[in-house]
A = this chain, B = another copy of it.
Amino acid sequence: MESKDLRKAGLKVTLPRMKILEILEAADDQRHFSAEDVYKQLLEAGEDIGLATVYRVLTQFETADLVMRHHFESGHSVFELNRGPHHDHILCVRCGKVDEFVDETIERRQREIAENSGYRMTDHSLYIYGICEACQSKE
């Protein structure tokens, strides 16, 4: 079903691209992956796909708007399949849990701030860091 998305993006339908899409779609528990995360899952699945290809493909997917790239504080890029509406993230600094939220008040204020500052807004990123419920109860 996704080969269409790839073709639409001007990308050949290749085995590495399909496998990487599959991993991003599985998302039973995880929805946010580093390149390394994806690479490890490929290895576990017995696929012989190089890390360079993972990076290349994820970047192409980003360009094609199939995935979003996030810059969590960890320093490296984190990717997420681009489905559903825009949302921001709240992360646990202890265990790395990632939750998502949407807040129209904040979205509106951001647009207003950009306008008042004379900027034509292209993007924004908002991360809330904290300690999740589970980690709090472990203290």
Contacts and interface: CB of A to CB of B under 8 A. Distances in A.
Copies in the complex: 2
A133 B119 CA distance: 6
Interface in A85-139: 90, 92-93, 99, 101, 103, 105-106, 109-110, 113-114, 117-133, 136
A123 B89 CA distance: 12
B122 A124 contact: no
A138 B99 CA distance: 40
Contacts of A99: 117, 119
Contacts of A4: none
Interface residues on A, range: 20 to 34
Contact of A131 (B71, B120, B130): B120
A64 B114 CA distance: 32
A73 interface: yes
A125 B125 CA distance: 8
Nearest to A126: B126
A-B pairs with lowest CB-CB distance, top 9: A119-B130, A118-B133, A121-B130, A123-B129, A124-B128, A120-B131, A126-B126, A122-B130, A125-B127
25 contacts: A71-B71, A90-B113, A90-B117, A92-B119, A93-B122, A99-B119, A103-B109, A105-B105, A106-B106, A118-B132, A118-B133, A119-B128, A119-B131, A119-B133, A120-B130, A120-B131, A120-B136, A121-B128, A121-B130, A123-B128, A123-B130, A124-B129, A125-B126, A126-B126, A126-B127
